[in-house]
Structures are given as structure tokens and as C-alpha cells.
Amino acid sequence: MDPLSQTVRWARGADRILVLTGAGLSADSGLPTYRGVGGLYDGIDTADGLPIEEALSGHMMKRDPGLCWRYIAQIEQACRGAQFNAGHAALVELEKHAQVVVVTQNVDGFHRDAGSSKVIEVHGSLRRLFCMGCGRPEDTPDYATMAIPPVCEACGSIVRPDVVLFGEALPGDAMHAWNAEMHLGFDMVLSVGTSSGFPYIAEPVIWARRNGIPSVEINPGSSSVSRVVDLRWPERASVALPALVEALG
């Protein structure tokens, strides 16, 4: 079965498409993939002798914000200057053919930069900070000039990025929005550049299989949903997604 032809057939019959994206989509923008935005801490401890899951945890942000912020800053620096790629742009073009809901684990903000209309950032975004004391928000922070850890100009408390650290709950507003979209239903599910290691990322693919909804995985490697999807497209997102929208016309 030709992955492109079959995906095009399903996409042409879909009014609503759910797209689940992970770090693999942003890899072609030059971003390392995750475990600690991968490559940085892939399978090794941090310089402080801690697993990245502990260094970048909500517990550590409260106990030792300086240490936690040190690794947040390293991740941000690795991403600094990168831009959205052809895969992100193709998802915007896909909106000409169907209503597209993007649910992303990425915190880089590239989907919004590219112009996707409906984006649910389940892990938050590095583009937003807020004060842990008074809750004062700060958009588009300048990481290059801020002190580590940064403090709130209003109350002097520690400021942190609006992202989900290890051990923290997913943001309620994002999950509410996602549940509302799932309630409306979808005609197709695309899993793009994600290992689907989190149950809440794998579950929509399982839901699609149970309900006879076509599902496609776009990923050079295998994942936890590779045996669940109707079709595996072993290709980079920045290649497969532009090919899809071009074939759709």
C-alpha cells in the first residue's frame, strides 16, 4: 500500500482531522528531540548527577529553582533562533481541505508561528513565563538577557516558564479544549513525529482504531502506536506532510 496515495484518499474524505505532533516534527528545524529535548541528555544524567526527569521536575523548581532553570536555559538556548519548517507550514495548508486540530507536545511555539488556526499545547510553551508568587504573566521573554533564575519585578518571587515539568499535571484549560474537540469527533487521525509514549497521546489513536476512523503514523522510527495505526508512513514529517498537501491539490 502506497502511504501517500492511501493518506490522500482518507484526507479527501475527512471534514475534521486530528494531528498529534511531537519532537520529531521540529527536528528538521534543528531542534534536538526529547529526553531533555534529546540529544542533550539522551540516556545520561545531567552535569549535576541527576536524571533529567528530576532536574526538570516541578519538585525541583520549588526546591532548587536555580538548578531547574539551568537546564531550562540550556534547552531554550539549543532551540534559540530556530524556526518552523515545511512540515508545520504544510499543516496550515491542510486547513484548506479540512478542519485541522493540532494537539502538540512541543513547547517551541512553531505551530502558532506557522499559522495553524487551532493549536492545543498540552505541555505549554517556552514563549510564556509567569510568576510563581503573584501569577503575573510575561509573554515573549528574552532568555538571552534574563537572570537565572529570573525573579518577578512586581513581587520578587521566582518566575518560571509556562510548561509542564516532570511530575506536574497537564494544564486544565488545554485538556478541557482537547476533550471538547474529541467530543465533536474526527474523521481521521495523524500521529506525526512522536513516540506516543504518554497514554494521553496514544489514546486518540486507539480510539480511532476502535471506532473505525482512519489513522496514519508519520515517523521514520517505530512508536508505541505503530501496531495500532491503520497505516505507517516511515518518513520525516517535513517530507511527508508537504507531499500530502501537494497531492491534495
Active site residues: 123
C-alpha–C-alpha distance, residues 191 and 87, integer Å: 13
Q: Hunting for cell 469527533 — which residue is that?
A: 185
CA atoms within 13 Å, Cβ hemisphere of 11: 26
Torsions phi, psi of 29, nearest 5? -90, 0
Partnered with residue 104 across adjacent β-strands are: 21, 121
Alpha helices in the chain (DSSP H): 3-12, 23-26, 52-55, 58-63, 65-79, 86-94, 110-114, 172-184, 199-210, 237-248
